[in-house]
Amino acid sequence: MTDQTALVLAALADPTRREIFERVASRSRAVGELASELPVSRPAVSQHLRVLAEAGLVTARADGTRRVYELDPQGLAGLRDYLDGFWSRSLAAFAKAAGRASTIHDKEQR
Amino acid sequence: MTDQTALVLAALADPTRREIFERVASRSRAVGELASELPVSRPAVSQHLRVLAEAGLVTARADGTRRVYELDPQGLAGLRDYLDGFWSRSLAAFAKAAGRASTIHDKEQR
DNA sequence: AGCGACGGTAAGGAGTAACTTACGGTAAGT
DNA sequence: ACTTACCGTAAGTTACTCCTTACCGTCGCT
């Protein structure tokens, strides 16, 4: 469990922040654009984006006076690694005992 | 984003609860056993276990007056599915633009 | 039946997180 | 230079989370 993974989990735990993150992930957006889509004020969005950025989930780039936020894959990759490690460490042993859990979600993607 | 995934993220966001979960995952434990290992009281552990159980991360079985908690793979599987979907939906597109993110964490495991 | 071990629940308090309004600061247009 | 648009930060309030102590129920043993 790296320190960043803790930040990622804390960041994604909040519903509003998750909504913001998913919107940014699907398409880069400016702060005001996000605020107009959501039932919270613009400063609230700005504060959420700060938390998401500190967790490595989004990054910002300037475009005139606008700040366009886009997805940063680093944060999600960290969480993914944590889950992968967990899966192989604990769930593999559990699957042996239960005899099915390891195959339920075996998909070949990526 | 299923409702359960939201519960999983909220459950794992707390450091104490994460610690409890990881200990239960590595080996099944009773409530008092967990409390003796951690710097919080037994009721606190009990409350955390309740949250973890509602998220589908642990399950309990009775052993006399003891309640032995063990890993429930359902919760982690849900979070994993969420991340997998996210990865293929958003990160794939991002990787095309960035030209590298998709290969950084390509491992063949499971 | 009585006793002791074990654990879930209730109630309350301290700390924190999320939101609001108000303000300041920077970049582009006229 | 003035105005407008856009955004981050500060300060304060409200709501919720986490923890504690106190209490009650259950199971097993003698």
Is the full-model pTM beyond 0.75? yes
Tell me the β-bridge partners of B103: none
**Region label for A60, one of left (φ > 0), alpha (ψ between -120 and 50) or beta (otherwise):** beta
B66: helix, coil or strand?
strand
Shortest CA gap B36–chain A (Å): 22
CA–CA separation, A2 and A4 (whole Å): 5
Residues B65-91 pLDDT 10s: 999 999 999 999 999 999 998 888 876
Which domains, ranges and CATH numbers included, belong to chain B?
3-109 (1.10.10.10)
CA–CA separation, A7 and A17 (whole Å): 13
Residues B51-69 pLDDT 10s: 999 999 999 999 999 999 9
Contact B8, B75 (CB under 8 A): yes
Q: Measure CB to CB from residue B6 to each of A1, A15, A89 and give the nearest one.
A: A15
- Please list every residue in chain B whose beta carbon sits closer than 8 Å to the beta carbon of residue A106: 110
CA–CA separation, B93 and B103 (whole Å): 13
Question: How high is the pLDDT of residue A87?
Answer: 80
Distance B52 CA to D23 C1' (A): 24
Residues A38-82 pLDDT 10s: 999 999 999 999 999 999 999 999 999 999 999 999 999 999 999
CA-CA-CA-CA torsion sign (A109, B1, B4, B10) = positive
Q: Measure CB to CB from residue B109 to each of A25, A84, A107 and give the nearest one.
A: A84
Residues B11-41 pLDDT 10s: 999 999 999 999 999 999 999 999 999 999 9
Average pLDDT over residues A95-109: 49
DSSP per-residue codes, B69-109: EEE-HHHHHHHHHHHHHHIIIIIHHHHHHHSSHHHHT----
Question: How high is the pLDDT of residue A105?
Answer: 43
Residue reference for tokens 């989930």: A57
Whole-number Cα distances in Å, A8 to A25, B69, B70, B104: 15, 26, 25, 19
